[in-house]
Amino acid sequence: MIKVRLIPFLLYFNVELLKITNLKTSDKNELIQLFESHFNEKAESVEMLPVSGSYREYCRLKSSSRTVIGAFNSDIKENTSFLSFTSHFIKNNIPVPEVYTVSSDLKKYFLKDLGNTTLFDYLSAVREKEGFSENIISEYRKVLKELPRIQIVAGKNLDYSVCYPRAAFDKTSMMWDLNYFKYYFLKLAKIQFDEQALEDDFQVFSEYLLSADSDFFLYRDFQSRNVMLKNDKVYFIDYQGGRRGALQYDLASLLYDGKADIPESIRQQLFDYYVAELKKYITVNDADFAAYYKGFVLIRIMQAMGAYGFRGFYEKKEHFLKSIPFALKNLELLLQHVELPVELHELFNVLNQLIHSEVLKEIGQAKSNLTVTVTSFSYKNGYPVDPSGNGGGHVFDCRAINNPGRYIEYKNLTGKDLEVQEFLEQKSEIGIFLNAAKLLVDQSVKTYLDRKFSNLSVSFGCTGGQHRSVYSAEKIAEHLKNNFL
């Protein structure tokens, strides 16, 4: 695992960032056309945004007077759910992003730009300076104050026929999650179990959870990365997987959000706050609610571990493996207190194997302190300074590549602009040049990781340090994140 620093245009990428994807040129062009036809303004820049666990792709489009988030998703049924829920939520004064326009094929749409700060980003930054302070707790209270409104107020009269892939968190949904955990986590982590006995426990466990009152809206992925903070307010995103379900599931998702790593005492404090807010809307039996809550915490943790296994073990995306130690910590805390009114011998045998697995506890931990600094520069101004003091590294000369800067329409643009990118990709041999550079850089990164080195510099120079070198630095940084983070 490495850290990637890209300077000067992008200052710092750490290991928490996921890969940045690139839409196909045709999809980018269609988003630009949709933007310009709807707003009657020229799109001056298109910035791809990092993706998370989904296959949806997002970008930020800017004109001289506005900025919006463009979304592309080929799954029309999922888009239909999101758009229908958004319209309903806005009518019920739930803080979600406004949808400006939708393409005729329902694959592209524009949303209000809520900035870049998620609840997780905020708590990570504040926690580093203050610990899990009252400032963080205050933001969580804002979220938990809204949650009953989403579940109960907005949950009424919602069109559940558009839910995708299921209209309810029913028996089928639960068995999907439990088997996801079994096949993509337990088996890939080589945990021993009696499959028939475990399957029997899954049946019993799901029947117990189904006995909870479930006539509410279940957000499904209610966690800190799906809450945006802007202008001292909270906003909610990525609820397209919503369906009917029990109240406890979303609360479990938020409070047992793995990498948020909420301290147990604060977790209980926030649980009590939510229940007090919930009682403003419905009557709550405290004992029954708490008992079911622990069961839903357990199935949510297992669902999350299934996702970590699929993305991490199966798809080899190491970022997801980093969440496993946090999930194990949550599981261990839960098992100390959970008491369910059903017998689940094989399931608890498996869960106890997990929390005592030293191999799993070490998964996702940093394996190296290697930082790769990627720089673009102008030969007119001389070679960049190596901040590590090691000297060496790679310096690639981009001046043999056809230069967009010689053409007036590209003079004021950079290698981060779509027009320059398309020029280089279509009217130069930049692809051949970068493929050769990748081979050399990859060889160095692998050797430096093996030898526990701490710094590697990679620099791209061109005449002005604006077009070819910037494009190359961006592409190499992206390549490193995709292949080594």
Q: How would residue 226 be classed by pLDDT, with cut points 50, 70 and 90? A: very high
Residue closest to 250 by CA, chosen among 224, 228, 289, 221: 221
> CB atoms < 10 A from the CB of 249, how many?
26
CA atoms within 13 A on the CB side of 151: 30
**Position 63 pLDDT exceeds 50:** yes
Write the single-letter amino acid at 343. E
The full DSSP string for 222-256 is -SGGGEEEETTEEEE---TT-EEE-HHHHHHHHHT
Mean per-residue pLDDT of the chain: 90
As a whole number, mean pLDDT of residues 335-355 equals: 95
pLDDT beyond 60 at 9: no
> Which residues are registered as beta bridge partners of 6?
374
This prediction has a pTM of: 0.73
- Say if residues 322 and 364 touch (Cβ distance below 8 Å): yes
Query: Which sign does the torsion angle of CA 221, 223, 225, 231 carry?
Result: positive
Angle between helices 286-308 and 195-210 (to 10 degrees): 140
Find, among 441, 457, 469, the residue nearest to 386 by Cα.
Answer: 457
Domains in the chain: boundaries:
25-112, 119-362, 370-484
Give 3-state DSSP helix, strand, coil % of the chain, rounded to 5: 50, 15, 35
Give pLDDT tens digits for 64-76.
999 999 999 999 9
Mean pLDDT, residues 288-303 taken together: 97
- The residue ranking higher by pLDDT, 387 or 148, is 148
* Model pLDDT, residue 53: 59
Q: Which of 144, 148, 385, 119 is nearest to 260 (CA)?
A: 119
Q: What gap in Å lies between CA 417 and CA 46, rounded to an integer?
A: 7
- Is 25-112's fold the same as 119-362's? no
Do 59 and 70 form a contact (C-beta atoms < 8 A)? Answer: yes
> Cα–Cα distance between 127 and 465 in angstroms, integer?
38
Q: How far is CA 117 from the centre of its chain?
A: 12
Q: What is the pLDDT of residue 432?
A: 93
Helices 418-427 and 25-39, packing angle to 10 deg: 150
Alpha carbon distance 211, 288 (integer Å): 11
- Region 371-377: what's the mean pLDDT? 92
Token pair of 434, please? Answer: 């970068």
Pick from 19-33, 140-154, 316-330: least confident: 19-33
> Does pLDDT of 309 surpass 60?
yes
Give me the pLDDT at residue 414, please: 93
Q: Are 361 and 325 in contact (CB under 8 A)?
A: yes
Note whether 154 and 217 are within 8 A (CB): yes
**Per-position b or e across 394-413, b if 16+ CB within 10 A of its CB:** bebebeebebbbeeeebeeb
- The answer to which of 205-219, 222-236, 288-302, 355-369 has the lowest mean pLDDT is 355-369
373 pairs with which residues across the strands? 5, 457
pLDDT of residue 51: 64
Question: Alpha carbon of 339 to those of 257, 289, 295, 336: distances in Å?
Answer: 21, 13, 9, 9
- Token representation of residue 366: 């940093």
Residue 256 has a pLDDT of 96
CATH code for residues 25-112: 3.30.200.20
387 has a pLDDT exceeding 90: no
CATH architecture of 119-362: Alpha-Beta Complex (3.90)
Of 4-13, 24-33, 122-131, 180-189, the least confident: 4-13
Q: Lowest-pLDDT range, 81-90, 294-303, 316-325? A: 316-325
Q: Which residues contact 268 (CB under 8 A, 6 or more apart)?
A: none
pLDDT at 145: 98
